[in-house]
Structure 1
Amino acid sequence: MKNISKNPYSSKENLLLNQETVAVKEELLQFKRAGGGTIVENTTTGINRDMKTLKWLSQETGVHVVAGAGYYVFDTHSSETCSMPVEKLTDIIVSEIEHGADGTDIKCGVTGEIGTSWPITESERRVLQATAHAQAQLGCPVIIHPGRNPEAPFQVIRILQEAGGDISKTVMSHLDRTIFKSEKLLEFAKLGSYLEYDLFGTEMLNYHFNPDVDMPSDNERIKRLRLLIGEGFEDRIVIAHDIHTKNRLTKFGGHGYSHILTNIVPRMLQRGITQHISGKRQTLVNF
């Protein structure tokens, strides 16, 4: 697995994390020993969501696992998905949360990660509208995977708002690879969604999906969090790992599921991010 840490998408084998169920179980046990209690596993339709394995992992480790409802990016949409009207997509998302997903009675606890590309495709737009409609019915939280363009998060928010979504219960993922200019970030933060920096532990030289992006280091991510906290957004921040390749597991020399708890939280404390800011409890959430 030469140079996989710097070029993780250069090996198809590295992408098959679903082959490592036993290793993931060990990661969850280590995460629990480090003080973790819940994992949000936001794999959605189109990228091999496995509800039965998620349930088994939770039962074996005692770690709560929250599964995600909905659909990922257009490239993973089936022809059936592409042809579905918004009403049908809405019914499916609602059913996955209320009754169970993928032919099981295992219910999802969040909608997303809802995937969008840049520019947003018509099929993705309908999924976003369905996501907003389902959220209006159920009040459930939503997690968004935005396209790789600084304007993408703004466009997603507009679509969700126009369809009746609750932006205060929406998480915008991957901001650490999407919005780099401070003024643009603060402009987006004012829209009211949760701001997710979820690539902690990812410090690659070559970002396969957008070579123009210089992937930030963990120290740089912490600096962005300090900026947001300084501007009063401390209660809208979510941090995560987005572990989806084998090289991120400790079995293969990676940082594992406990990286935020064991390495990032102490570093944040060193950099002046306390757990009590302006009288508010600073919550450090790990997906």
Structure 2
Amino acid sequence: MTGVIRTVLGDIDPAELGVTDSHDHLFFASKLLPGEELDEVEPARDVLLDFKAAGGSALVQWTPYGLGRRIGDLARLSRETGVHIVAATGFHRAAHYAPEVVREVVDDLARIFVDDLTGSTRAGLIKVAGAFHTLDDHARTTLTAAAVAHQETGAPIAVHLEHGTAALEVAGLLCDTHEVPADRVILGHLNRNPDDALLREIAARGTFLGFDGPSRANHATDWRLPDCLETLVGAGHGGQILLGGDTTTATARHEPGASYLLTTLAPRLAKRLGEDAVTAMLVANPARAFATSRPR
């Protein structure tokens, strides 16, 4: 299989993906966020319908294995709303799981990932995570398993960068050590560490660049985003940029929600960067980022 995007309802041509929220969560449950679980179907349906009404066509859920993905509900919601949904396999930072879960699965991660990507789960990407400013043993284990699964399936690897850090270390391990092509790697949360010189260095590696979670009061918020993106577009990296909402809590569903990408953020960026550049971030770039490559 090559050159397709695996959605929860089956494989589609990348040209069918359309306007895409490249990083979000309809369902998510972590022990780090007690009482803020995204585990109700009706609010998830409302998110998709609002996103569709704003012009959205596809949403990529980065919720990995063991954190409440609700694959069956994703498929039903996609069918009912007409919004393409791409689901994830993968494994987050250990802190999100009960210790016994980590012990039970850590030695079998590559097999779990491959099974999710090739079986009835219909996962379309592998989501793993770095550590804060480094790669700890857990990150190295999960990233290595992701590389093995990529080599067998061709699926893209999406990486949570803790507070936007350790991007170069992640790229080094995946692309240099494990020979994953750079354009099969998506580095998330780069907006949380808005260092222009560092962003240009990361972009030069050739990975996709995820800017997600707009308007989070505890992160570098939207006022920094146009400057960062203008720097990258001006340096020739506009074809690597992806935009997402990254809603991870019930409260955040309304602050500001996935549709904000299209109703507020995209028009603001278009005034600064031009319509064509923003359209690429929402349409052409996701179509390439989330397509499978030919397995080895």
Give the shorter-chain TM-score range: 0.7 to 0.9
Q: What is the one-letter code of the residue matched to 2:51?
A: F
Change (3 A) 1:83 1:59: closer
1:24 aligns with 2:44: yes
Aligned position for 2:269:
268
Change (3 A) 1:61 1:228: same
Q: For residues 101-132 of structure 1, give each alpha carbon's deviation from its aligned partner in whole angstroms, at most 9, with x where no partner exists.
A: xxxx23101111x1222343323211111111
1:133 aligned residue (148, 172, 176): 148
Identity over the aligned pairs, expressed in percent?
Answer: 26
1:239 aligns with 2:237: no
Q: What is the one-letter code of the residue matched to 1:267?
A: R
SS in 2 for 1:283: helix
1:164 aligned residue (158, 175, 179): 179
Unaligned stretches of 5+ in structure 1? Answer: 1-9, 100-104, 208-214
Q: Do the aligned partners of 2:33 and 2:249 also contact (CA within 8 Å) in 1?
A: no
1:44 aligned residue (64, 77, 80): 64
Larger Rg over CA atoms: 1
**Cα distance in 2, alignment partners of residues 48 and 154 from structure 1:** 30
Q: For residues 85-116 of structure 1, give each alpha carbon's deviation from its aligned partner in whole angstroms, at most 9, with x where no partner exists.
A: 76x322211110001xxxxx23101111x122
SS in 2 for 1:109: strand
SS in 2 for 1:265: helix
1:39 deviates by 0.7
Q: For residues 151-171 of structure 1, give each alpha carbon's deviation from its aligned partner in whole angstroms, at most 9, with x where no partner exists.
A: x11111111121232221111
Q: For residues 15-48 of structure 1, give each alpha carbon's deviation from its aligned partner in whole angstroms, at most 9, with x where no partner exists.
A: 2121x32112012111111111111011012322
Q: Do the aligned partners of 2:239 and 2:281 also contact (CA within 8 Å) in 1?
A: yes
Pairs aligned (count): 252
Q: What is the one-letter code of the residue matched to 1:16?
A: E
1:193 aligned residue (202, 207, 224): 207
**Cα distance in 2, alignment partners of residues 11 and 145 from structure 1:** 17
Trace 1:117-132 onto structure 2 (pairs within 5 A): 117-118=131-132, 119-132=134-147
2:169 aligned residue (155, 158, 161): 155
TM-score normalised to structure 2 length: 0.77
1:60 aligns with 2:61: no
1:183 aligns with 2:197: yes
Unaligned stretches of 5+ in structure 2? Answer: 1-31, 291-296
**Cα distance in 2, alignment partners of residues 67 and 192 from structure 1:** 24
Aligned position for 1:210:
none
Aligned position for 1:225:
229
Higher relative contact order (Cα pairs below 8 Å, separated by 6+ residues):
2
**Cα distance in 2, alignment partners of residues 231 and 83 from structure 1:** 45
1:92 aligns with 2:112: yes
1:197 deviates by 0.7
TM-score normalised to structure 1 length: 0.80
Q: Would you identify which runs of 4 or more consecutive aligned residues in structure 1 move more than 6 Å? A: none
